Chain A
């Protein structure tokens, strides 16, 4: 099964940007999709968007289109999540998750999560 490894905790100032990475050694990932999700402290899960690396095709949740950019570096097996204009409300654990083609909403496995703290 694929293993997804995410970058570490980030502490950012309001108004700044952050990049979170998700790396896998599996070649299957490039032919399927990686989604990004987040969970604010004590809150539920939200889907931000996803990418199919081999097609460089992205989908974003309408709520996050202005906030999120998802890209991939196939040569490194890495997918990136860029968040802009950070606000305190963006404080959350951000997860990447593998999504096999043809099985939307089947997020498995997940990365270990990256905590992003936005604070002045």
Chain B
């Protein structure tokens, strides 16, 4: 059971834009602007692609963008490419009960 809720899978076509959602609560996503997203290809180490809700680390494509509304964080991937096919995990700082919460992950199929 994950603290944050993500859809199990999302699919899209090449060049399309898709949005992944991450549902939290007032104790995590809704309260803190410390939401991050990780991309993980099969058998690989997770890679940070968004932090602090909207910020992109150096080297991450501008096709990835993050946002938040209320208790829900979102990751939009625009101009979908075959290499975007991966698992995506959202992560949020939480209150003292959990501290750091992850979603169960969304598998993106292109």
Contacts and interface: CB of A to CB of B under 8 A. Distances in A.
Interface of B: 2, 32, 34-36, 38, 45-48, 51-52, 57, 89, 91-93, 97-105
Given A105-B93, A108-B57, A44 B52 contact: no
A45 interface: yes
Given A95-B46, A104-B93, A105-B91, A45 B51 contact: no
Given A44-B89, A105-B34, A105-B91, A110 B46 contact: yes
Closest 10 CB pairs of A and B: A47-B100, A108-B48, A106-B51, A105-B36, A44-B105, A104-B93, A45-B102, A44-B104, A105-B91, A110-B45
Contacts, number: 62
A105 B46 contact: no
A119 to B, nearest CB: 21
B100 to A, nearest CB: 4
Contact of A104 (B45, B48, B100): B100
B49 to A, nearest CB: 10
B48 A106 contact: yes
